[in-house]
Structure 1
Amino acid sequence: MTGGTRKRGATWSYYFDLGKIDGKRQKKEKGGFKTKKEAETALAKAINEYNNAGAVFTPSEITVSDYLDQWYDLYCKPNLKYQSQVTYLRIIEIHLKPKYGKYRLKALTSAILQEYANDLKMSGLAKKYVSCILTVFGAALDYAVEPMHYLSANPMRYVKLPKIERSPRERIVLSMEDWERIVERFPSGSRFYIPLMIGFYTGLRISETFGLTWDDIDLEKRELTVNKQIVKRNFGADVRKVVEKKDKRKLRSSWYFATPKTQSSKRTVKFGEMLYQALKQERAEQMKNELKHGERYTIQVVKKELDEKGNEMQRIVPVQKSLQSDLPRVKMVCVTEHGEYTSTDSFKYCSKIIHKELKIAFDYHSLRHTHATILIESGADVKDVQTRLGHANIQTTLQTYVHDTEKMANRSVDIFEQAVKQKKLS
């Protein structure tokens, strides 16, 4: 490694060559030292830090930055879904490269990475996000061991996630009074009435509700089928350009149908009279509006495309009815009077009004949580609730949606008292 000192004006500076990043040789220079000796001492310390990152090792030529780029191209692109690619690349560019990008890969040790994990904890990041950063780094280093053989062992293996004492996220359960105020503010005829009703009366996730088409709803059997969800993604640019916000002209986004969150998310959900009447009326109104607005009415068609891995996906394309399209039409459940698609982005306005105008703690997930809590409080079988919500295992239902409430506690007391009385009589 080359380096040296030089006098610049009244002070001294040191400089030395770094490893290559993006194939280009990088140079480090720092000035402001009063004497040449101070600059030489600082140079030796800087070179030692660069070469070792605080540890004794046998260095490899590849830097962490270049390796992460290599790992992303070789592993992430072919194997991860679009949203996961975006998440991984943001972690790489925002967290990993700025911290360790200039160092050589073999400079990393468990001690160094444990200190990094502790620093992430102290930075105030959410526990889940800290875990995600460390998981991504760990996966990258696993790949460096096998199949790349850049490392003999993964230094992340012995790093422990620091305990982050943080109050659990409040899970909002709406009172019936608050629910009545919400549907009074967004009554039948509002573009938000149907998604609110679906969330409250079925417990669907927001991406499932806004992915529903009329083909998914059987009014005669009073049931709906969850076989897809809605996702927003960019097209016309690769993930790296999206993350780095380059080539903004091509960073267009659109809504796509995607597979459900998990295999167990594919399910049929029965519903009762209230939602039946709401859906029946909405279906009739949409048919009436389409006749009323005629060729000016907006419809949605689906266009088949290929994702980064060559898998088929379906993009939802809005077109005016007057434009004859050869693409198959899809009839979305959540639309406006003029047929425009009501998306999860559109629903943010509804949530904002409920927060600021009605002063009610609310997000769409609170409808799902309220639905599950009412069922459990009323004595519904937990296994049935799990199936209805589409959870992969019953522990998720128990830990996430079933919690102690005053009503449940009182019912337990009543059950016990009645059981004791029966035993005394027998």
Structure 2
Amino acid sequence: MGSVRKRGNTWYYTIEMAPVNGKRKRIERTATGAKTKKEAIKIMLEVEEDIKKGFNYVDNGKTSYADFLKIWMDNYVSKNLAYNSVRAYKFHIKNIIPSLGSYQLNQLSPSIIQNFIDSNIDKYSFSTIDSYLAVIKASLKYAVHPCHYIKQNPAEYITLKKKKDDTVIDKEKDFISQEKFINILNMFCKNSWQYALLMIAYNTGMRKGELLALNWSNIDLENKVIHITNNAIRVLVSEGSLKLARPKTISSIRDISFSDDLLAILKTLKKTQSIERLGFGKDYIVNDFVFKKKDGSFVNFPDVDTMVKAIKRKIGSDFHLHQLRHTHATMLVESGASLKSTMMRLGHSNVNTTIEVYAANTKTLQDESAEKFEEYINKLSAK
């Protein structure tokens, strides 16, 4: 049982904690808001109850947010999340700490966090600010439970409103016309890794990491099927600059069938690599990667970045490899493929992703919806 006492006009409570190294441990805190002894005792009893439930009253939320973010990164993020997620969190935290890091956890309030979000909305993209907010919410959730540094998450109900300019997103820019794609292909030799990578991306909708992780053992040339089992992750050059990992979701592990045209391209690529291996002899770097350079070394993210930059200069407009995935998805839906089969081919874990990102933005489907609605209205009018 604790005790209360009054100094001047302020009431304080003292609570006996568990002994540390055989020594008694007590904490004394201000009974904030208490005007009488009875009110101070009530606050003390509430605190004792919170301590029984695990709330960290020894710290009492006095740890700085910057220090706690390190605790969170070391004890949770680094141990439970994928490499790319950990790297992204570290990057976002560097931009959060200058504004919020000096606050104690118990000083962070919804208004302080909201002001931080609002003050940055015009400086960075919506997705960047959304990532900042996600890091803040997740870290402070961890501070509540299991750490019990604070009792409530001050960021829990913080919202991020899109700017007017962000409300209308032009998805058409992510679609590559056939004419534009042919112009891009004409930049490269038909037996090059660039040509093959672009064609596979265009015809399968595979992600960049899935393409770079592709091994010849993953490709069944006889049955024309690609088995996607790994995903390449961009890492620091000091760490080898390429890391293979299992995809994040089970749905990403999938089989993709391909056409005779793609079969011919793959056979040409494999033949070219055999010739290059003979040419380099013992200096050839032996591995099973599908995409590799003349000396056998695997194609890495920087190599793809260089290819993309060259394409941008050539076509005089924006281009990124993910546009080929968008294009493939759009063509699938417009050709009549079901949403379920499209979802499975693209490796989406949720069919809503397929609907929202692709199907809703295809002109063919929009036109069909308008026609069907008009037919329905005409039938009603005829009755």
Deviations 1:64-94, CA, capped at 9 Å, x for gaps: 2222222222222322222222222222222
- Matched with 1:75 is 76
1:258 matched to 2:245? The reply is yes
- Matched with 1:99 is 99
Deviations 1:321-350, CA, capped at 9 Å, x for gaps: xxxxxxxxxx10001222121223212222
SS at match of 1:143: helix
What aligned pairs does 1:264-303 form with structure 2 within 5 A after superposition? 264-300=251-287
- In 1, distance between residues paired with 2:70 and 2:377? 68
- In 2, distance between residues paired with 1:131 and 1:413? 34
Residue pair 2:60, 2:149 contacting (<8 A) in 1 also? no
Residue pair 1:260, 1:266 contacting (<8 A) in 2 also? yes
- In 1, distance between residues paired with 2:230 and 2:348? 15
- Matched with 1:137 is 136
Q: Decide whether aligned partners of structure 1 residues 381 and 120 sit closer, same or farther in structure 2, where only a CA change above 3 A counts.
A: same
Deviations 1:128-160, CA, capped at 9 Å, x for gaps: 221221121122222222222221211112322
SS at match of 2:222: coil
Q: CA deviation at 1:298?
A: 1.7
Residue pair 1:197, 1:275 contacting (<8 A) in 2 also? yes
Q: Decide whether aligned partners of structure 1 residues 344 and 65 sit closer, same or farther in structure 2, where only a CA change above 3 A counts.
A: closer
Q: CA RMSD in A?
A: 2.7
Count of residues in correspondence between the two structures: 319
Gaps of 5+ in 2: 1-58
Higher helix residue share: 2
Query: Which residue type is aligned with residue 183 of structure 1?
Result: L
- Matched with 1:247 is none
- In 2, distance between residues paired with 1:134 and 1:404? 28
Residue pair 1:59, 1:104 contacting (<8 A) in 2 also? no
Q: Decide whether aligned partners of structure 1 residues 169 and 287 sit closer, same or farther in structure 2, where only a CA change above 3 A counts.
A: same
1:195 matched to 2:205? The reply is no
- In 1, distance between residues paired with 2:331 and 2:349? 21
Query: Which residue type is aligned with residue 120 of structure 1?
Result: N
- In 2, distance between residues paired with 1:164 and 1:417? 34
Gaps of 5+ in 1: 1-57, 236-250, 301-330
Higher strand residue share: 1
Q: 1:368 aligns with which of 325, 329, 337?
A: 325
Residue pair 1:64, 1:103 contacting (<8 A) in 2 also? yes
Q: CA deviation at 1:229?
A: 0.9
Residue pair 2:84, 2:234 contacting (<8 A) in 1 also? no
- Matched with 2:156 is 157
Identity of aligned residues (%): 31
- In 2, distance between residues paired with 1:403 and 1:344? 31
Query: Which residue type is aligned with residue 160 of structure 1?
Result: T
Query: Which residue type is aligned with residue 277 of structure 1?
Result: A
SS at match of 1:156: coil
- In 2, distance between residues paired with 1:421 and 1:143? 57
Structure 1 runs (4+) deviating above 3 angstroms are: 58-61, 403-422
SS at match of 1:257: strand
Query: Which residue type is aligned with residue 211 of structure 2?
Result: T
Q: CA deviation at 1:109?
A: 1.4
What aligned pairs does 1:18-417 form with structure 2 within 5 A after superposition? 60-95=61-96, 97-121=97-121, 123-165=122-164, 166=166, 167-168=168-169, 170=171, 171-234=173-236, 251-300=238-287, 331-409=288-366
SS at match of 1:67: helix
- Matched with 1:30 is none
- In 2, distance between residues paired with 1:199 and 1:59? 53
Residue pair 2:330, 2:362 contacting (<8 A) in 1 also? no
Most deviating of 357-366 and 222-231: 357-366
Residue pair 1:232, 1:253 contacting (<8 A) in 2 also? no
- In 1, distance between residues paired with 2:119 and 2:291? 45
Deviations 1:294-333, CA, capped at 9 Å, x for gaps: 1121223xxxxxxxxxxxxxxxxxxxxxxxxxxxxxx100
- In 2, distance between residues paired with 1:394 and 1:252? 36
Residue pair 2:359, 2:365 contacting (<8 A) in 1 also? no
- In 2, distance between residues paired with 1:396 and 1:409? 17
- Matched with 1:44 is none
Q: CA deviation at 1:393?
A: 1.4
Q: TM-score, normalised by structure 1?
A: 0.69
Q: Decide whether aligned partners of structure 1 residues 140 and 413 sit closer, same or farther in structure 2, where only a CA change above 3 A counts.
A: closer
Q: CA deviation at 1:379?
A: 1.6
Query: Which residue type is aligned with residue 156 of structure 1?
Result: A
Q: Decide whether aligned partners of structure 1 residues 394 and 107 sit closer, same or farther in structure 2, where only a CA change above 3 A counts.
A: same
Residue pair 1:211, 1:332 contacting (<8 A) in 2 also? yes
Residue pair 2:61, 2:150 contacting (<8 A) in 1 also? no
Residue pair 1:289, 1:337 contacting (<8 A) in 2 also? yes
Deviations 1:171-205, CA, capped at 9 Å, x for gaps: 42111111211222113122301101110111101
